């Protein structure tokens, strides 16, 4: 059995950092981590202020959505997180944020194209918009699952916020910051009214090959365990 306390602390510390950055507000948004070697995740509870939470408040949930350990109800978005983990073996951590500039594109219903090398190398070829679904609904989980085959690590949730994936919690958290930088630049570039310069297809393909190779390596590693 995994050391659940270790992963509870990992999730909690990430929520504190994201809250201090303004990517999470109050109890809005959520963070989770796959439990190594088990079909379980550690995930933030529902309707609990992140800055007042303690490690024991983080929930342990199995892949059927059943609470295994914890005093509080798991995040209402648990189904959305599980939809990712079941479809992407390379993903070990997820952060769902309400960060400002990414959320602007959530209400504009506009995807973010490939603008920077580092963006494609870490986030993928585009930041796609996932169709709207009520928070915590099966529709939202299904909409998220339907996008997982693009192998990207950042998505915009229409009229909601952003979804970031990572091989580690550090990767997912970094991807949140990278998305916000990219979204901020793209917003101001669009506001200028001038043409937007995107990366050439050859560069996009090259960086996506590197990203997918790292994902495949992680998937193979997990399958061997």
How far apart are the C-alpha atoms of 172 and 190, rounded to whole Å? 26
CA distances from 192 to 94, 124, 127, 216 (A): 33, 25, 21, 39
77 in active site: yes
Active-site residue identified among 13, 38, 77, 224 = 77
Contacts of 135 (CB under 8 A, 6+ apart): 76, 77, 160
**203 vs 31: CA distance, rounded Å:** 32
Give the CA diameter of the chain: 56
**Which residues touch 86 (CB under 8 Å, ≥6 apart)?**
63, 145
- H/E run at residue 178: helix 169-192
Enzyme catalytic residues: 77
């Amino acid at each position: 059995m995994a050391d659940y306390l270790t992963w509870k602390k990992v999730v909690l510390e990430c929520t504190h950092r994201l809250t201090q950055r303004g990517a999470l507000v109050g109890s809005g948004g959520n963070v989770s981590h796959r439990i190594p070697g088990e079909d379980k995740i550690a995930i933030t509870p529902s309707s609990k202020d992140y800055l007042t939470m303690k490690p024991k408040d983080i929930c342990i949930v199995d892949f059927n959505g059943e609470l295994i350990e914890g005093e509080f109800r798991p995040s209402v978005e648990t189904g959305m997180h599980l939809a990712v983990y079941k479809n992407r073996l390379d993903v070990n951590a997820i952060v769902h944020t309400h960060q400002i500039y990414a959320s602007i594109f959530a209400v504009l219903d506009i995807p973010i194209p490939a603008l920077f090398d580092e963006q494609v190398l870490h986030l993928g070829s585009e930041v796609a918009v996932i169709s709207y679904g009520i928070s915590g609904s099966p529709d939202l989980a299904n909409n998220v699952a339907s996008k997982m085959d693009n192998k990207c690590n950042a998505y915009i949730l229409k009229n909601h916020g952003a979804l970031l994936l990572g091989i580690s919690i550090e990767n997912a958290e970094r991807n949140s910051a990278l998305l916000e930088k990219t979204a901020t630049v793209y917003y101001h570039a669009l506001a200028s009214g001038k043409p937007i310069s995107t990366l050439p297809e050859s560069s996009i393909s090259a960086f996506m090959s590197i990203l997918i190779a790292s994902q495949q390596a992680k998937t193979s590693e997990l399958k061997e365990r």
